[in-house]
Amino acid sequence: MEAIAEKQVTDYKKVGEAKKAFFESSATRGYDFRKKQLKKLKQVITDNEAEIIAALKQDLHKPAFESFTSEISLLYAEIDDALKNLKKWMKPKRVSTPIIHFPTTSKVYTEPLGVVLIIGPWNYPFQLLMAPVIAAMAAGNCAVLKPSEETPATSTLIHQLIEQNFDSNYLSVIEGEGAEVVPAAVDAFRFDHIFFTGSVPVGQKIYEMAAKQLIPVTLELGGKSPTIVDATADLKVAARRIAWSKFFNAGQTCVSPDYLLIEEKVKTAFVAEFKNAVVDFYGENPKESPDLARIVNDKRMKALKQFLEVGEILMGGQIDDDSLYIAPTLLDNVSFDDQVMQEEIFGPILPIITYKHAAEIKEVIAKNPYPLSLYLYTKDSKLEKMIINQVQFGGGSINNGLIHLSNANLPFGGIGYSGIGNYHGKSGFMAFSHQKSISKTRFFYDNNVKYPAYKDWKIKFVKKFL
DSSP codes joined into one string, 147-166: --TTSHHHHHHHHHHHHHHS
Is 0.75 surpassed by the pTM of this model? Answer: yes
Q: Taking a C-beta distance cutoff of 8 angstroms, is the pair 145, 171 a contact?
A: yes
Q: Taking a C-beta distance cutoff of 8 angstroms, is the pair 81, 50 a contact?
A: no
Average pLDDT in the 332-340 region?
Answer: 95
Q: Are residues 272 and 136 in the same domain?
A: no
CATH of the domain at 284: 3.40.309.10
pLDDT digits (tens, 9 = 90+) for 164-197: 999 999 999 999 999 999 999 999 999 999 999 9
Q: Write down the pLDDT at residue 6.
A: 38
- Domain residues for the domain of 290 are 226-408
Whether residue 7 is predicted with pLDDT greater than 70 in this model: the reply is no
Confidence bin at 447 (pLDDT 50/70/90) = confident
pLDDT above 70 as % of the chain: 98
pLDDT digits (tens, 9 = 90+) for 343-376: 999 999 999 999 999 999 999 999 999 999 999 9
Q: Are residues 215 and 231 in the same domain?
A: no
CATH of the domain at 205: 3.40.605.10
Q: Write down the pLDDT at residue 4.
A: 36
pLDDT digits (tens, 9 = 90+) for 397-407: 999 999 998 99
Q: What is the DSSP letter of 458?
A: H
State phi, psi for 88 to the nearest 5 degrees: -70, -40
Confidence bin at 1 (pLDDT 50/70/90) = very low
449 domain residue, yes or no: no
pLDDT digits (tens, 9 = 90+) for 208-253: 999 999 999 999 998 899 999 999 999 999 999 999 999 999 999 9
453 domain residue, yes or no: no
Tell me what the pLDDT averaged over the chain comes to. 95
Give dist(CA 272, CA 267) in Å, integer. 9
Q: Taking a C-beta distance cutoff of 8 angstroms, is the pair 198, 182 a contact?
A: no
Average pLDDT in the 124-140 region?
Answer: 98
For the chain, what is the domain count? Answer: 2
Confidence bin at 462 (pLDDT 50/70/90) = confident
Give dist(CA 357, CA 343) in Å, integer. 25
Q: Are residues 203 and 242 in the same domain?
A: no
Whether residue 274 is predicted with pLDDT greater than 60 in this model: the reply is yes
Q: Which residues, at least 6 apart from 88, have a Cβ–Cβ distance to it below 8 Å? A: none
Q: Write down the pLDDT at residue 11.
A: 85
Q: Write down the pLDDT at residue 357.
A: 95
Q: Are residues 235 and 215 in the same domain?
A: no
Active site residues: 220, 254
Q: Write down the pLDDT at residue 8.
A: 41
Q: Which residues, at least 6 apart from 195, have a Cβ–Cβ distance to it below 8 Å? A: 116, 117, 118, 119, 132, 136, 217, 218, 220, 423, 431, 432
Q: Are residues 426 and 330 in the same domain?
A: no
Which of 374, 369, 427, 362 lies closest to 404, judged by CA?
374
Q: Are residues 188 and 298 in the same domain?
A: no
Confidence bin at 100 (pLDDT 50/70/90) = confident
Task: Give the H/E segment covering residue 354.
Answer: strand 349-355
Q: Are residues 317 and 275 in the same domain?
A: yes
385 domain residue, yes or no: yes
Q: Are residues 92 and 107 in the same domain?
A: yes
